[in-house]
Amino acid sequence: MKSESTGSPAMPRCTNCDGHREAGFSLVEVLCALAIAALALSALYRGLGSSLLAARHLEGHLGARVIAQSILTDELHAAATAAAERSGQSGAYAWRLTIAPAGSDVAVPLPRSYRLYRLTADITWDGGGHFTLDTLKLGTP
């Protein structure tokens, strides 16, 4: 049993009757491919943007940590220690060093001429960044 087209007999069956289909993509296929590429690119740009933001945040945090460690190291190596507050600027970073007597809840008794101090370095930078680092120092009053 042979089947035939029910289309209009006045219309030719195909314009290219040599048995070969024309090669290429249809308009719908091209538009779908462009839509998929646009979605992929937007996701890529979004990921790249958030990666740059995270890298900037990390860079600010690492710079603040280096400055805080440097300030605390300088004070730890200082000969005399007294309660004080100092501040300054280092590039894009503003810093404040607070030296205060530590609480009396130390488990080990201290020698008579020594006192325990808490050194706190607060670092801030543009963009609302903030970093705090503190340590203890045994010093003479």
User: At which residue do the structure tokens 């190596």 appear?
Assistant: 77
φ, ψ of residue 133 in degrees (nearest 5) = -135, 135
Asked if residue 141 has pLDDT above 70, the reply is no
The reported pTM is: 0.63
- Sign of the C-alpha dihedral computed for residues 81, 101, 71 and 89 taken in this order: negative
Q: What is the CATH number of domain 27-139?
A: 3.30.1300
Asked if residue 57 has pLDDT above 70, the reply is yes
pLDDT digits (tens, 9 = 90+) for 34-51: 999 999 999 998 888 889
Q: What is the mean pLDDT of residues 69-91?
A: 90
The tokens for 89 are: 């600027």
Q: Name the average pLDDT for the chain.
A: 83
Domain boundaries, the chain: 27-139
